[in-house]
Structure 1
Amino acid sequence: MGEHVIRLPDVGEGVAEAELVEWHVKVGDMVREDALLAAVMTDKATVEIPSPVEGEILWLGAEIGDTVAIGSPIVRLKVAGEGNVGQGDATTEPQSEPEPVAQEKKAAPVPEKPAMPPLAKREKEPAPVQPAGVRSAPVGAPRREGEKPLASPAVRLRAKEAGIDLRQVPGSGPAGRIGHEDLDAFIARGPQPGKASGLMRSDRVEEIRVVGLRRKIAEKMQLAKARIPHITYVEEVDVTALEELRAALNKQKAGPDRPKLTLLPFLMRAMVRAIAEQPHLNALYDDDAGIIRQYGGVHIGIAAQTANGLVVPVVKHAEALDLWESGAELNRLAEAAKSGIATREELSGSTITITSLGAMGGVVTTPVINYPEVAIVGVNKMMVRPVWDGAQFVPRKTMNLSSSFDHRVIDGWDAAVFVQRIKALLETPAMIFVGE
C-alpha cells in the first residue's frame, strides 16, 4: 500500500488561488477514480475536483471557506501500489486522527456505583437545579385557572420577597407541590407567559460562516455601495398593449427558434434602442484609472436567483439578437445558472444589467449597480390599476421601472431621458420593431 497526494489543479484564467466551498468526502471514505472530492470557487465560477485514483481518504488539507493556492495539497489517500508520495511531499503530514479501535480497547474503567442512601435521607436532600429548557416540568401556566399552588410557608415567603407569583411556578413535588428547587429553576429560567399558549422563548444563536458565492456577492455589493453614489429613478409604465402583443405572439405556433416570450426580451430590445441614442450608459467606469470605457456591443447581464445565491449570466451582443433570439438565449442562460453549469465566460462581461424579481418584484426597489457598470434597470411587479382616460377609469396593466445610475458619470437628466425612452418603447411596442 502507498499514499497519493492530490494538489489543487490549475483552474485556468491565470488564477493563483481558489476558495474551497464544498467537500464531497470525509476522512475514512473510500473513493473511486473520478469520484468528486471537492468544489472550489474562483470569482463566480465553481470548479469540481475529481479523484484521479481509487483509495481511502486519510487527510483533508483545508476547511470550507479557506483560500487555497494552486498546487497546494488538498487530499491524501491510501492507495494500492506505491502512490506518488516522495521526498517532495514529506512536509505534507496528515493531521493526527484518534483511532476509534484503540479507544475502544482502552476504555476507561467504570467506577463503582455508590450505594444508594436510605429513602428517608434522600427525601430530605434538595433536588439538583437543572438549566432552563432541560426540566421536564411544563412551561407556562403549570396548573388550571383558579387552582391554588401548593408550597411551604418558607417557599411562599421567599416567593413574596422575590415578587414571584407562585401560580406561574411549575412544581415538581407530589400533587405539583412547589419546592425551593422549583423556585430556583423558575428564577434561572425567567418569567414565562401566564397561559399555556405553547409559545417558548428561544435564546439560540447560530453562527453561519459566509463562504463561496454568498461571500462573493457580499464583497461585490459592499464594493458597489462603497464606491458608487447611486441615484435611483422610478417611473410607471403602462404595459397593457405590450402584454396583448406578447400574448398574441405566444399563441402563434412555436418552433425551436421561437421560444415562449416573457417581458424581458421586449425590455432588452427597448434598452438596445435607447442605448443607441445614449451610448454613454453602456459603459464601465474604472474609477482607479479615471477612465470610462464605453462599449459598442450591448452585453446585458440578467440578475438571476439560484439555490446557491445571486448570479448574473450575460446575454452577449444583445444588439445583434432579435426578439426570439433574445428569448432563447435568456432561457439557455437561466437554465445553466440554475443548474450550476454556467461557465465563467457566461457569468462575466456585462456592460449593463437588468434585475427582476418577477411576481415578487414589489412596487418600488432600489437596485444596486453591478460594479463597475454605470446603470441597472429594475423591473417591478406588474398589476392591474384603474387609470383615468379623460372620461372614466379603465383597468390597465402597469408596472414600475426602478433604475439606478452612477451619479459620478450619469447626470439625473440623462438618467430620466434613458428611462423615458424605454417607457415610450414599451408603451407603444410596435416602435421597438421600427428600423430593425
Structure 2
Amino acid sequence: MSFASLGLCPALVRATHERGYAAPTPIQASAIPAVLQGRDLQAQAHTGSGKTAAFALPLLQQLVQRGQPGARPLHALVLVPTRELAVQVGAALRELSQGLRTPARIAVLFGGVSINPQLMGLRGGADIAVATPGRLLDVVAHNALKLGGVQTLVLDEADRLLDLGFADELAHILALLPPRRQNLCFSATFPAAVQALAARLLHEPLRIELPPEPEARPAIEQRAIEVDAPRRTTLLRHLLAQHQWPRLLVFVATQHATGHVAEKLQRTGIAAAALHGQLAQGTRRTVLADFEAGRLQVLVATDLAARGLDFAALPAVLNYDLPRSAADYTHRIGRTGRAGQPGVAISFVTPESEAHFRLIEKRQQQRVPRERVPGFESAAAPAAPPPAATGEGGIKGKRKSKKDKAREAAHQASKR
C-alpha cells in the first residue's frame, strides 16, 4: 500500500517521502481514508505508531480539497495536553504542508510564554490551530481566534484531554464549536471511563484499535527492581555506573522530586536536570535540547515527558516513582524502544508500592519478574504472590476488605 492509494494529493505524497515515510503504518492506512470520508474516529495505537501523520495528512488534504487555503475561517483545531506536544504536532504539520501550492498557516498556541507573539501571529488568520486548552481559551478571550467555523476537531492524547484535569476547559471549548463537525480522538490508551466520555463526543465513529504487530512491537525489556524507598537514588547511581547509558529518562511523581533527585545526581558529577510543568518555556526548551543532544545524561521528569515527546534512540527509562495508572505506565515506557530501536524500562518497586505495581501488571495482563540488586535488597519481607494477570477488578493491598474485617470481628467475639 502507498500513500497515493489513500487519496492524498501528489504534493503530500512527496512530503511523506521527503520525511522518510516508506509506506503507511497500520494506523495511517486505517485512519486517513476514514478521515477523508468525513467519519468520526476513535483511534487507538501504540506509541511511535505514526498517529500524528494519521490525522495531519488528511487535515492538509481537506484544505487542498477546500481550495483557497488562507481564506480562513479556521478549518481544524487540534487539542493537545502539553506545550511540548503542541510544538511537535505544529512542526509536523508545517513540514508536511511545505510542498503545497499555498502552504497551510499553522497556529501553535500554548501557555508558559507571553501571549502577545501568538496573538500577533493570528492577525493573518490560520487554517489549523494546535493548542493546549487553557491558552486556546485565553486567545479566544482576546478575540484573536473564532471557533465557529471549525469543521474538524482532533483530540491528540485523547485519554489525557478527556480526564477530569481538563474537563472544565474542554467543556467550554466544545460549547464554542459548531455542533456539526468531524471529531477525531487519537491515543495509545482508552481506559473505560474515558471511552464513556468519548462516546458522548463522537457520532457513529469508526473505532480503530491496533495492537502492535509482533514484528513491529516495541522491543522494550521491562524490569522491576525491589528496593527500599530511601535507597532509590543510590541504586539509580549504581545502575548508571553499571550500564553506562548515554541518556536516561527518570520519572518521578512530583515537581519537587524532579529537582530533589536531579540535585542529588549533580552532586556526584552526573549531568542531570529537572523537567516539569512550572518551568519557564525557555528553560524547558533548553533542557530538552541538551538532553536530546547528549549534553545531559539524566532527565528527571514528571509525567509531562510521558506523552508526545519523541526522544530519538533513547536507550532506557526508569520509574523512580510508579505512575498512577497502567495507562500512564504505557505512555512512560513508550518513550524508549521507538522506531525499531531496543530499549529497557526499569521500575523501582518499594514494599509500599508493591500492591500498586501488581495492579499495573494486572491491567497490562503481564507479569514482570522482581529483581534484587546485591547490596540493595529490600529489608521488608517478600510480598505475597500476585494474582493472575487477567480481568479488570482491583487488587488487595494493605487495606483490609470488609469481609476480612467481619471475619476478624467474629473470630475475636468467639474468644470472649
TM over 0.5: no
Structure with bigger strand share is: 1
Structure 1 length as normaliser, TM-score?
0.28
Structure 2 length as normaliser, TM-score?
0.29
Q: Of the two, which has the highest radius of gyration?
A: 1
Q: Which one scores higher on RCO, CA 8 angstroms, separation ≥ 6?
A: 2
